Chain A
Amino acid sequence: MKKAFLIGWKDLTLAFRDRAALIFMLAAPFALTLGMGLVTGRFSGNTGSTGVGDIPIVIIDQDGGQLAQTLVEVLQSEELSDLLEPSLGDDLAAAQAAIEADEIAAALVIPAGFTDSIIPHDGQTAPSETVQLALYSNPTRPTSVGVVRTILDGFLSQVEVNRVGAEVIITRLIATGRLQPQEAAGFAQTLAVENAAAGGQPSAISLNSVTASGEEVEFDILAILAPGMALMFLMFTASNGGRSLLIERNHGTLPRLLVSPTGTAQVLAGKTIGIYLTGVAQMLILILGTTLLFQVQWGNMAGVLLLVLASVFGAVGWGLFITAIARTPGQVAAVGSALMLTFGILGGTFINTNNMPAWYRWLTRITPNAWGVDGFTTLALGGRLADILEPLLALVVMGLVLFGVAMLLFNRRGLTQK
């Protein structure tokens, strides 16, 4: 394994000494991100357009209580009208069918007892057992679902903050003798209703949302553009890394490696590690750079790191697959460039794929870009690690499958055969 890491480290060193590669790996995505930011008005303070909008959702209110009504009002508010396209319904089966038919992005069910579980009944100071909201998601529209989930998270966080705040106030009032214990229940209900109404103010919940931990998240158009660019040029790094295997074969360094006491598996593992390390370094530099230069908020750092690792894994799978089917470095370069642009377009680097037809959105799923953009967008919108499990899993599976196929092809043809 030591030799594999040495080969990988050597490839990382060579990649960062190649000026032409550096232009594609780092300069181009920075420049394009900057350009897209200028076009979208990011640098002139206009953050109105997020590229995500008119998300169709169905709300089924089975509760009818104060808090449920507030939530419905929030989702139908003017402030969210560009983002959401909510409609009220009462048939869960019909809503599920609409999701199945890809007519809506999600269905929100507010179950009976939701308000009562948070706002105490008469004679109670503590809420009854919590009743959870149910969000039925359309798996082909993860970004849209992520937006809806973030808005709901924000609403619930606000409600929770108010509930805890009310408890503290009542406890303090009783402790100081300003409120009699027998008056507490009535006071609590009044406070909860007022808080719920205040919490439901659209100004309190918007895309400038609040994470579960209470941290405010400023949504930024560059948080979608920057990952899109980074992921597109990650495909260049992956295919260029694969191409280096064929270049080494032509330049004689691969045969030389294979006549040293280094096994074929070690050489292949080393080349894979090299591409992987280069891709991870590229992504981290771009993330750090856009954070420092453009103040892009990428979101949960652990999630970002895991998503980088998974995205690079998926991209490396593609790089190795292209290399395994190509005969010459030129073929890898040509196919790699075509794939980089195609995946960039499909994956949402240039256009919002959420408003595209279902078959198109299904097609985007073969690209690491689409999964990566979904994950990064979710995180930028305040999503947590648990919210990006699906893209993480998809990217890892994609990488594993492509890596396996590439190894079979290399094994069949031999590393030194053209």
Chain B
Amino acid sequence: MPAILEVKDLVKHYGDLVAVKGISFTIQEGEIFSLLGPNGAGKTTTISMLSTLYAPTSGDAVIGGHSISRQPMAVRNLIGVVPQDLALYEDLTARENLSFWGQMYGLSGKELSVRIDEVLEQIGLSDRAKQRVKTYSGGMKRRVNIGVGLLHKPRLLFMDEPTVGIDPQSRRAILDSVKELNRQGMTVLYTTHYMEEAEELSDRVGIIDHGGLIALGTQAELTKQVGEMETLILHIDENEDPERLAAAIRRVKGVKRADVSDHTVTVIVPEAEEALAPAVARANELGIKIRSVDMREPNLEAVFLHLTGRALRD
């Protein structure tokens, strides 16, 4: 498969702030590539540069043979963008929104009409197409937001955290539609801070933190970085001190690391089940009440924790 996107040492400064620190990666045609990272990691800034909204401070990217810096208009014809926040005209109907945006992408006449019908069918809103968007639920608005990005059948679709703030049912529908689009041949660059979404969708994942790409590969390749380690997560009461508990657990045999975030202690161990009893015993000794416990097999969360010392949600 040829590369549809080649990112070369892309940098973005906002005054003294370095939002993106020289990231490089490629995406093959037909791939779903996820950029996984916490809020503020630089995901949206990266997509903004790749979609030609912001000019990079240095570096470049080539999409379908066109440079984002030198041939932005050619790039825009190849890409579709689903922004993180809803970008719709709420006083227009879904059909009017799709019609307007379709025309902005050069569609017109019968072709536009056919594509609007297809997209409305795809996002499941054919029967409510003549109602104003402001009357829709959050999930329905999200679906129209995605539909706008699909109208002109882009070769490369950028989806910037499309499931933020919606109900589980709509989230499921969006994830299924991303997979369906990919099955139809569309290449997708998907950003998220939800590990589960990256795991479910992606052929490859890039982990981004503080503006830098800190890991890149398939899930199997990435989880290898933390070996066969499992994750034990202890949730404690809000008035307890997680640092005291983490310090005590670090002395338990076999524990590789124990990190604190909010009211949670995350423990990396070869066998989570074996570490549970001594960890609870330490908590009892300190008089710290544990509210709940999660145990996870090697995953991207563990990779992120391993690489940064922080949980993804931090």
A: residues with CB less than 8 A from B are 3, 6, 10, 13-14, 17-18, 251-253, 255-263, 416
Label chain A's interface by main secondary structure.
helix
A10 touches B53 (CB 8 A): no
A261 touches B106 (CB 8 A): yes
- With contact pairs A3-B104, A13-B92, A261-B105 given, residues A256 and B76 touching in the complex (Cβ less than 8 Å): no
Distance to closest chain B CB from A178 (angstroms): 76
**Per-position contact with A for B91-131: 1 when CB-CB < 8 Å, else 0?**
11000100011011110000000000000000000000000
In whole angstroms, how far apart are the Cα atoms of A261 and B105 in the complex?
6
Task: Name the CB-closest residue of B to A10.
Answer: B100
A14 touches B79 (CB 8 A): no
Task: Name the CB-closest residue of B to A13.
Answer: B92
A6, A256, A416: which contacts B87 (Cβ < 8 A)?
A256
In whole angstroms, how far apart are the Cα atoms of A184 and B211 in the complex?
103
A258 touches B53 (CB 8 A): yes
**Which residues of A lie under 8 Å from residue B89 when comparing CB positions?**
10, 14, 253
B88 touches A257 (CB 8 A): no
Task: Name the CB-closest residue of A to B50.
Answer: A259
- With contact pairs A252-B86, A252-B87, A255-B87 given, residues A261 and B51 touching in the complex (Cβ less than 8 Å): no
A6 touches B100 (CB 8 A): yes
B: residues with CB less than 8 A from A are 48, 51-54, 73, 76-77, 79, 81, 83, 85-89, 91-92, 96, 100-101, 103-106, 148
A6, A17, A255, A416: which contacts B104 (Cβ < 8 A)?
A6
Distance to closest chain A CB from B162 (angstroms): 13
Task: Name the CB-closest residue of B to A267.
Answer: B104
Distance to closest chain A CB from B56 (angstroms): 15
- With contact pairs A259-B76, A260-B104 given, residues A251 and B87 touching in the complex (Cβ less than 8 Å): yes
B73, B86, B87, B148: which contacts A261 (Cβ < 8 A)?
B73
**Which residues of B lie under 8 Å from residue A13 when comparing CB positions?**
91-92, 96
In whole angstroms, how far apart are the Cα atoms of A416 and B52 in the complex?
12
A259 touches B91 (CB 8 A): no
A261 touches B77 (CB 8 A): yes
B51, B88, B91: which contacts A17 (Cβ < 8 A)?
B91
In whole angstroms, how far apart are the Cα atoms of A258 and B86 in the complex?
15
Task: Name the CB-closest residue of B to A261.
Answer: B76
Distance to closest chain A CB from B156 (angstroms): 12
The 9 closest A-B pairs by CB, nearest first: A252-B87, A256-B87, A259-B51, A260-B104, A261-B76, A17-B91, A252-B85, A253-B87, A259-B81
Distance to closest chain A CB from B164 (angstroms): 13
**Which residues of A lie under 8 Å from residue B92 when comparing CB positions?**
10, 13-14
In whole angstroms, how far apart are the Cα atoms of A17 and B81 in the complex?
27
Task: Name the CB-closest residue of A to B158.
Answer: A259
**Which residues of A lie under 8 Å from residue B73 when comparing CB positions?**
261, 263
**Which residues of B lie under 8 Å from residue A14 when comparing CB positions?**
89, 91-92
A259 touches B79 (CB 8 A): yes
**Which residues of A lie under 8 Å from residue B103 when comparing CB positions?**
3, 6
**Which residues of B lie under 8 Å from residue A256 when comparing CB positions?**
81, 83, 87, 101, 148
In whole angstroms, how far apart are the Cα atoms of A6 and B88 in the complex?
15
A253 touches B88 (CB 8 A): yes
Distance to closest chain B CB from A7 (angstroms): 8
In whole angstroms, how far apart are the Cα atoms of A260 and B74 in the complex?
10
Task: Name the CB-closest residue of A to B79.
Answer: A259
**Which residues of B lie under 8 Å from residue A258 when comparing CB positions?**
52-53
Task: Name the CB-closest residue of B to A252.
Answer: B87
- 28 pairs of residues in contact across A and B, judged by CB atoms under 8 Å: A6-B100, A6-B104, A10-B92, A14-B89, A17-B91, A251-B85, A251-B86, A251-B87, A252-B83, A252-B85, A252-B86, A252-B87, A255-B83, A256-B87, A256-B101, A258-B53, A259-B51, A259-B52, A259-B53, A259-B76, A261-B76, A261-B77, A261-B104, A261-B106, A262-B104, A263-B73, A416-B53, A416-B54
A18, A252, A260: which contacts B105 (Cβ < 8 A)?
A260
Task: Name the CB-closest residue of A to B48.
Answer: A255
**Which residues of A lie under 8 Å from residue B83 when comparing CB positions?**
252, 255-256
In whole angstroms, how far apart are the Cα atoms of A416 and B48 in the complex?
11
In whole angstroms, how far apart are the Cα atoms of A13 and B100 in the complex?
12
B106 touches A255 (CB 8 A): no
In whole angstroms, how far apart are the Cα atoms of A6 and B101 in the complex?
10
Of the candidates A18, A251, A257, A261, the one having the most CB atoms from chain B within 10 angstroms of its own CB is A261
A260 touches B91 (CB 8 A): no
Distance to closest chain A CB from B85 (angstroms): 5
Task: Name the CB-closest residue of A to B105.
Answer: A260
In whole angstroms, how far apart are the Cα atoms of A291 and B60 in the complex?
61
> 11 additional contacts, CB 8 Å, given A6-B100, A256-B81?
A3-B103, A251-B85, A252-B86, A253-B88, A255-B83, A257-B104, A260-B104, A261-B77, A261-B106, A262-B104, A416-B53
Task: Name the CB-closest residue of A to B100.
Answer: A10
**Which residues of B lie under 8 Å from residue A257 when comparing CB positions?**
104
A18, A252, A260, A263: which contacts B101 (Cβ < 8 A)?
A260
In whole angstroms, how far apart are the Cα atoms of A294 and B100 in the complex?
39
In whole angstroms, how far apart are the Cα atoms of A103 and B89 in the complex?
56
- With contact pairs A10-B92, A14-B92, A17-B91 given, residues A260 and B53 touching in the complex (Cβ less than 8 Å): no
Distance to closest chain B CB from A184 (angstroms): 74
Distance to closest chain B CB from A241 (angstroms): 15
Distance to closest chain B CB from A389 (angstroms): 39
**Which residues of B lie under 8 Å from residue A17 when comparing CB positions?**
91
In whole angstroms, how far apart are the Cα atoms of A17 and B133 in the complex?
13
In whole angstroms, how far apart are the Cα atoms of A14 and B89 in the complex?
8
Distance to closest chain A CB from B253 (angstroms): 52
Of the candidates A18, A259, A261, the one having the most CB atoms from chain B within 10 angstroms of its own CB is A259
In whole angstroms, how far apart are the Cα atoms of A260 and B92 in the complex?
19
**Which residues of A lie under 8 Å from residue B105 when comparing CB positions?**
260-261
In whole angstroms, how far apart are the Cα atoms of A257 and B85 in the complex?
14
**Which residues of A lie under 8 Å from residue B104 when comparing CB positions?**
3, 6, 257, 260-262
Task: Name the CB-closest residue of A to B88.
Answer: A253
**Which residues of A lie under 8 Å from residue B51 when comparing CB positions?**
259
In whole angstroms, how far apart are the Cα atoms of A14 and B79 in the complex?
27
**Which residues of B lie under 8 Å from residue A260 when comparing CB positions?**
76, 101, 104-105
Distance to closest chain B CB from A159 (angstroms): 59
In whole angstroms, how far apart are the Cα atoms of A17 and B104 in the complex?
22
In whole angstroms, how far apart are the Cα atoms of A262 and B73 in the complex?
8
